[in-house]
Structure 1
Amino acid sequence: MITLLSRVYFLSIKSNTYYEELSKRNYISRVKKIPVRGIIEDRNGNKLAVNQMGFSILIKPHLKSKKNKEKLNDAIDLIVEHFPKQEKKKLLRAYNRKDSAYNHDFVKVVDYLPYQEFFPKYTLFSSKDTIKVESAVKRFYPYRKAASHVIGYVGKASRLDILKNELSAHNGIIGKNGLEKFYNDKLQGEIGYKDVKVNALNKEIETLDEKEPSIDNSIKISLDIELQKYIQKIFGKRSGAIIVMDANNGEILSATSMPEFDNNIFASGISVKEWNIMRNDLNHPFTNKLINGLYPPGSIIKMGVALSFLENGLDENFTVQCSGSIRIGNRNFRCWKSSGHGKVTFRKAIRESCDDFFYKGSLEVGINKISQTLDKFGFGKQTGVDQVNEFFGVNPNKLWKQKKFKQPWYVGETVITSIGQGNMLVTPMQMARYTAFLATGKLPKPHFYKANYEEPEDLKIPEKELSMLRQGMHDVTHHAKGTATRHIKSKITIAGKTGTAQVVSIPQSEKVRMKESELKYFHRSHAWLTTYGPYKNPKYVVTALVEHGGHGGEAAGGIVSKIYDKLYEMEYIKSRD
């Protein structure tokens, strides 16, 4: 009796909630409401990524049998007749792949047709009981190639994407790169629903609960697309990268990775032929060089190395006598100026980019201490910019080499690292951030969207030391012997540093170095020019890298000068000094 009473209690009371929930499922139907993907705007409200309205075509399931095959063929023939670009074989393949005995939903065979193209045929297709028409959207990038690497693109959601992101199973797309991927959760919004009471015939009787999908899913970024287009134009057909960043807060006004590509080819679907052409391009248009391009920094690293010298015991009056080379073991390490620079101070070493000064200083300080200082400035680390798969770069030292190559560190590696060669590798984004620090004394976090902003980090570097290096950077662009003076022709007083990063080493047997123009294109050095301005009141950093461009001042000086003049014209900079 006790067992029987216990069972009755369980069935009538304890199990009531469980069976009540099952009962609800039998008469309550949930219809999901899919949000429209948010748009991306530049700082002035120009739309960089939007949604174009259109239609998709679906065909009734279970038409593959002999009895219904004619209906299937008629439906597909109707599509091909009115939209000749659709191929019958592909439509049949899409239907057969998605249709099964367990599927009771209409099968989508055409993902998207533009509104203007389909709407005149809407009535015809809607009248067919084997065809279903649904509204659809396609991502569109109005500015095409401009800022393509930064904006990114969306694509069809894969099975793995769907496992990680439930909403992508309903809208079929997901951010694949750039801001589209980094802020995918924000842009796709939150799904809504409508709970309705239905009868035994699945006919809606009453709405019980309803939640609208989110609409606050657009983002406005710091990019100025008109400035971006201008820089793209003056950069021409060169390969490389240019970044324009607010020196004080890390906002990015423009970020160009060249060559660029039209993101719309991914939204619409890229052909195998198009893909292979772009993939095999030696200038790597798919690589976001801003964060994924790894380059030796060359001489633009010298201010950071100089700060390491000062931090680790070298006096501000430290000088060397540059004779054009220094011999270590069986090798001569040459200064770029074969006749030498004579007596060299910190300021002169920056102004004239004397290699010998850094060779000798690095032997005093050592690679581990240099690496430790450069680590503070963000080398060998991600900057945290709101882009996906950012590279770390390489800030080498003895432990790094032992772990990576199981080899000891040699003195010769210390001296070549001190001038930004050897194993050291950086990204243009890291160099722009480091330049902002040199300008302001604080290290900002680069960002495109305000949600990724962080307060710049005060590195507590003595102002006296920074001031001395800033004077050297001013000399680079204004002193008669400055390495960029002949090439900087701007209305704005700027400070900067040139860099020539070798791609191939120079044999010891070569007494007179070949000119860059005499080298094969892919053997020419990469050209760097990183700057800030105005000099007295820094507002913006402009960092330029021209792949295989040779000398930094010659290759990038004209481009950088025009960018500062454009910033002045657009009133981002209001004071010339």
Structure 2
Amino acid sequence: MNIRLNIIFLIIIAIIVTLLSRIYFLSIKSNTYYEELSKNNYINRVNKIPIRGIIEDRNGEKLAINEMGFSVLVKPHLSSYKNKEQLEKTIDLIVKNLPQYEKDKLIKEYKKNDSSYNHDFIQIIDFVPYEEFFSKYTILASEDDIKIESSSKRYYPQKEVASHIIGYVGKASKYDILNNSLSSYNGIIGKNGLEKYYNSKLQGEMGYKDVKVNALNQEIEILNEKEASIDNNIKITLDINLQRYIQELFTGKSGAIVVMDARNGELLAAASFPEFDNNIFARGISVKEWNEMRNDFNHPFTNKIINGLYPPGSVIKMGVGLSFLENGIKENFTVNCSGSLPIGNRNFRCWKSTGHGTVNFRKAISESCDDFFYKGSLKIGINKISHTLDKLGFGQQTGVDQINEFVGVNPNKEWKEKKYNQPWYVGETVITSIGQGNMLVTPLQIARYTSYIATGKLPKPHFYKANYEEPKELDIPSSYLDIMRKGMYDVSYAPKGTASRHIRSKVTIASKTGTAQVVSIPQSEKVRMKESELKYFERSHAWITTYAPFENPQYVVTVIEEHGGHGGEAAGDIASKIYDKLYDLGYISIPEQTK
């Protein structure tokens, strides 16, 4: 009996606890939920979308701005059968005043976004320029079923100048929106260049306005408000006047040019050729335009400053020379260059078939003697050369504020084993020592390494001060650097210097030329064909990398002309004119005694 009573009492207690729990949930716990739900019925949050920040050059000239205009929206719930005529009438009025738009497409856009749950006006035209729309404003804005809002569209006033660096915005994809919620409101996001790298800064932060509304969705009271951010602009290190001048110099050519402050890594100009007008992406590129650019053998889409991978040719020789000195080869090391070096079944030729005679470090740089580097490389091996070049920034990103920077290839035994599962051969050491074979670099890597040769510090290239880092000191003795600097001076001014006939400037320029082969030369060819006799796409790439003034290094200019032939001849004059422009613009100061 007692057991039965205990069971009954337990059942009664369980029922009481259940009822009390339910009462608590309905009266207290769920109150918060339903209160929030209720608020959603009478409080609307109106988002305030920030205007995208502008991009300016170092002197305040505009590189990316917002063109002002209007968007057109239509009242919701007009797509039902009974409102069909009203919708048609409304769209007809819009098309009559804006004949560039097609009625069927506007109706389709409207229906795609209309639903019984949506009480907001539906945007069917995202942007009409101010000057095109202003005369139509009164007509359309007076209609109850039409709403006109201010809108903006990205515009690049410099057009193709510095297009790879500035980048462009485009319509936000579903993937973009997943990773950046603000892009779902403004509909755009940075797709390339600085527009993408600094998208978070440029797009700003959303504002909002919480508004109490009645059953008809009419505004009664503003409850809370936060303004969208306005501190979205960035001023970069480019000088667009210098960039424009460089573009004129390089008309009709393909390649890249970098102008960098050797002391801190600021990029005054960085051009990849051919360029393209970023506005075609902001307004929407046509299929014809896309196919023309995609099929261009000169690759206008590629930002060759950071994504162009080239054999460096002889411009790498200062780095290889530093490796010789770091690894026990004495400063007075000389070789007798007879024009070729036989190894196994192959004859490794110097570019000068008659040879350079007795060559030391300074002469090897000045006259670009290949045999000097062949023989030095055999003394220390590829791994030690690769180690020094790694310190100088090869085979790694420079850290510049651009997206998807390539690292290039700084080959060694381990690299080849991993990539090809093959051993390293001595002939590969020899060919790598003159910047051929598997070695690949970007123009920006060469400019950065040249800055180190000039100043003894390795800077981080950058376009925006937020990306600045203090230049790094490396453990390479300054006496070694002095040898390379003197050799680079002789390249420009010694009688047999490889650029001596082409360097002509108001400032004293230290330089190094390079001719990077695109196709190999058969061993059977005794006399090499002239570059001008080769087919265009078989001609060597022409390099020159420089710094100036020699007495007080301030700036680096690196030029690569694709299929340009010999470096000094193709690029020496261009580099000279850039330094003259830097002088004329007031960037370079020259001590009185050297003017």
1:36-62 CA-to-partner distances (Å, cap 9, x unmatched) read: 000001111111111111011223344
CA–CA distance in 2 between the matches of 1:71 and 1:93?
Answer: 15
Indicate the SS of the match to 2:363.
helix
Q: Are 1:135 and 2:153 an aligned pair?
A: no
Q: Are 1:182 and 2:193 an aligned pair?
A: no
1:128-147 CA-to-partner distances (Å, cap 9, x unmatched) read: 23322221101111111111
* Residue aligning to 2:574: 559
CA–CA distance in 2 between the matches of 1:443 and 1:496?
Answer: 18
Question: Given residue 263 of structure 1, which amino acid in structure 2 is its aligned partner?
Answer: N
Indicate the SS of the match to 2:401.
coil
Question: Given residue 60 of structure 1, which amino acid in structure 2 is its aligned partner?
Answer: K
1:509-548 CA-to-partner distances (Å, cap 9, x unmatched) read: 1100000000000100000000000001100000001010
* Residue aligning to 1:540: 555
From 266, 271, 277, the counterpart of 2:286 = 271
CA–CA distance in 2 between the matches of 1:109 and 1:202?
Answer: 21
1:347-376 CA-to-partner distances (Å, cap 9, x unmatched) read: 111000000111111111111111111111
Q: Are 1:402 and 2:423 an aligned pair?
A: no
* Residue aligning to 1:165: 180
Offset, 1:13: 4.4
From 144, 147, 165, the counterpart of 1:150 = 165
From 278, 298, 316, the counterpart of 2:331 = 316
Offset, 1:126: 1.4
From 327, 337, 355, the counterpart of 2:352 = 337
CA–CA distance in 1 between the matches of 2:220 and 2:103?
Answer: 41
Q: Which stretch shows the higher mean deviation, 159-168 or 102-111?
A: 102-111
Offset, 1:198: 2.8
CA–CA distance in 1 between the matches of 2:376 and 2:316?
Answer: 14
Question: Given residue 392 of structure 2, which amino acid in structure 1 is its aligned partner?
Answer: F
Percent identical among aligned pairs is 74
* Residue aligning to 2:49: 34
Q: Are 1:509 and 2:524 an aligned pair?
A: yes
* Residue aligning to 1:197: 212
Question: Given residue 525 of structure 2, which amino acid in structure 1 is its aligned partner?
Answer: E
Offset, 1:103: 4.2
Offset, 1:104: 4.0
Q: Are 1:455 and 2:470 an aligned pair?
A: yes
Offset, 1:71: 3.0
* Residue aligning to 2:4: none
CA–CA distance in 1 between the matches of 2:103 and 2:24?
Answer: 63
* Residue aligning to 2:268: 253
Question: Given residue 426 of structure 1, which amino acid in structure 2 is its aligned partner?
Answer: V
From 240, 247, 250, the counterpart of 1:232 = 247
From 431, 452, 456, the counterpart of 1:437 = 452
CA–CA distance in 1 between the matches of 2:21 and 2:170?
Answer: 57
1:331-390 CA-to-partner distances (Å, cap 9, x unmatched) read: 111000001111111111100000011111111111111111111111111111001111
Offset, 1:408: 1.5
Offset, 1:466: 0.3
1:446-491 CA-to-partner distances (Å, cap 9, x unmatched) read: 0000000000010121010000110000000011110001000001
Offset, 1:106: 3.0
Q: Are 1:385 and 2:400 an aligned pair?
A: yes
Indicate the SS of the match to 1:349.
helix
CA–CA distance in 1 between the matches of 2:116 and 2:534?
Answer: 66
Offset, 1:311: 1.0
Offset, 1:183: 0.2
Q: Which stretch shows the higher mean deviation, 4-13 or 431-440?
A: 4-13
Question: Given residue 380 of structure 1, which amino acid in structure 2 is its aligned partner?
Answer: G
* Residue aligning to 1:483: 498
Unaligned segments of structure 2, at least 5 residues: 1-15
Question: Given residue 536 of structure 1, which amino acid in structure 2 is its aligned partner?
Answer: E
Offset, 1:236: 1.3
Q: Are 1:114 and 2:129 an aligned pair?
A: yes
CA–CA distance in 2 between the matches of 1:101 and 1:296?
Answer: 62
Indicate the SS of the match to 2:82.
coil
CA–CA distance in 2 between the matches of 1:406 and 1:104?
Answer: 64
From 528, 533, 542, the counterpart of 1:518 = 533
Q: Pairwise mapping of residues 33-72 of structure 1 onto structure 2 (< 5 A)?
A: 33-72=48-87
Say if 1:73 and 1:175 are closer, same or farther in 2 by CA, change over 3 A: same
Say if 1:207 and 1:66 are closer, same or farther in 2 by CA, change over 3 A: closer
Say if 1:10 and 1:75 are closer, same or farther in 2 by CA, change over 3 A: closer
CA–CA distance in 2 between the matches of 1:99 and 1:227?
Answer: 51
CA–CA distance in 1 between the matches of 2:116 and 2:34?
Answer: 29
Offset, 1:195: 1.6
Offset, 1:65: 4.2
Say if 1:64 and 1:16 are closer, same or farther in 2 by CA, change over 3 A: closer
Q: Which stretch shows the higher mean deviation, 313-322 or 147-156?
A: 313-322
* Residue aligning to 1:301: 316
1:376-426 CA-to-partner distances (Å, cap 9, x unmatched) read: 111111111001111111111111111111222111111111100011111
CA–CA distance in 1 between the matches of 2:556 and 2:433?
Answer: 23
Question: Given residue 529 of structure 1, which amino acid in structure 2 is its aligned partner?
Answer: I
1:278-299 CA-to-partner distances (Å, cap 9, x unmatched) read: 1111111111111111100000
Offset, 1:95: 3.1
CA–CA distance in 2 between the matches of 1:71 and 1:17?
Answer: 42
* Residue aligning to 1:473: 488
Offset, 1:69: 3.1
1:186-241 CA-to-partner distances (Å, cap 9, x unmatched) read: 00000011122333333333222211111111000010011111111111110111
Indicate the SS of the match to 1:67.
helix
Q: Are 1:427 and 2:468 an aligned pair?
A: no
Offset, 1:268: 1.1
CA–CA distance in 2 between the matches of 1:364 and 1:59?
Answer: 78
Unaligned segments of structure 1, at least 5 residues: none
CA–CA distance in 2 between the matches of 1:412 and 1:93?
Answer: 66
Say if 1:464 and 1:229 are closer, same or farther in 2 by CA, change over 3 A: same
CA–CA distance in 2 between the matches of 1:263 and 1:526?
Answer: 27
* Residue aligning to 1:222: 237
Superposition RMSD in Å: 1.6
